[in-house]
Amino acid sequence: MSSSPFRGLSAFPPTPAGLYGRVDIEALGRLLERLCDAGVASIGLLGSTGIYAYLTREERLRAVNAAVECVNGRVPLVVGAGALRTDCAVDLARDAEAAGADALLLAPVSYTPLTQEEVYQHFLAVAKATRLPLCIYNNPGTTHFTFSRELLQRLSDIGTIRAVKMPLPADGDLRGELALLREKTRLAIGYSGDWGAAEALLSGADAWYSVIGGLLPRTALALTKAAMAGNDGEARRLDGLLRPLWDVFNAYGSIRVVYMLVQHLLDVRADLPRPLLPLGPADRQRVFDAASPVIDLERQSLL
């Protein structure tokens, strides 16, 4: 097992489920085996790609129990515990710890816009509820909340809060942002936004929280290792290979793309939770065209 669940490639698989949110445990296990076999640094279960916000507490616990049994300690398992209510997030965090998860990921899910103090108190309550290390999920694209650097500094003083999953900076200044965050916090700093992963890792980020890594882990892991070793040319070559996928992620939303591809790769049912709708025929073909070279490369690496 990796010494930290918050460094290197953290792969975020989809959660195969039927239209009404019943998790397909067998299909989830097949996905997780791929990630363990590839040697990812951690698995991000029930992240945004894992449709945590659309699943009941009972289905989330079924997924965690199945994942813990399947992974069996081979790779650290980071489990999403985001919920609208603080008491619900506390319950989900305790469920994950009792099931055997290794770490937590927490986003400040909200309907009413939250203040910085409200988010601090929310995270403090969840952090106190378990002994698991926790990663802050800064995802303003879905939560409509942005963590100030001052709030991140306050949260980093809570003993079990160890990391932050950041969005790509709007101004593109990754090195500058990393320097400021390292000055103000003691957190391990990773990035989501797959299309900026190579640049983030080359700039010194600790982790890549990866959507595509949850489906095509060997290619994502090769990029991660190259970038973290300072191999600029190889990291950019692999990023270039993945660029058509980044384009369809941005065109259609990564969740729609990934759920289409997981059905294609594993021949399993993985419905998008309504009201999300599957892509139409022309858009599906564009996704297949973008993904095919990477899928072929992934398959070759398994030979």
In terms of Cα–Cα distance, which of 108, 139, 109 is closest to 124? 108
In terms of Cα–Cα distance, which of 59, 65, 73 is closest to 17? 59
Sequential DSSP letters for 32-84: HHHHHHHT-SEEEETSTTTTGGGS-HHHHHHHHHHHHHHHTTSS-EEEE---S
Sequential DSSP letters for 258-282: HHHHHHHHH----PPPTT--PPPHH
What gap in Å lies between CA 120 and CA 108, rounded to an integer? 10
Q: Is the distance from CB of 191 to CB of 200 less than 8 angstroms?
A: yes
Q: Give the helix ranges, DSSP H, for the chain.
A: 25-38, 57-71, 86-99, 116-129, 140-143, 149-156, 174-184, 197-202, 217-228, 232-252, 254-266, 281-301
Q: Among all residues, which ones are annotated catalytic? A: 137, 165
Nearest 10 degrees: Cα torsion 298, 259, 257, 227: -40
What gap in Å lies between CA 285 and CA 208, rounded to an integer? 28
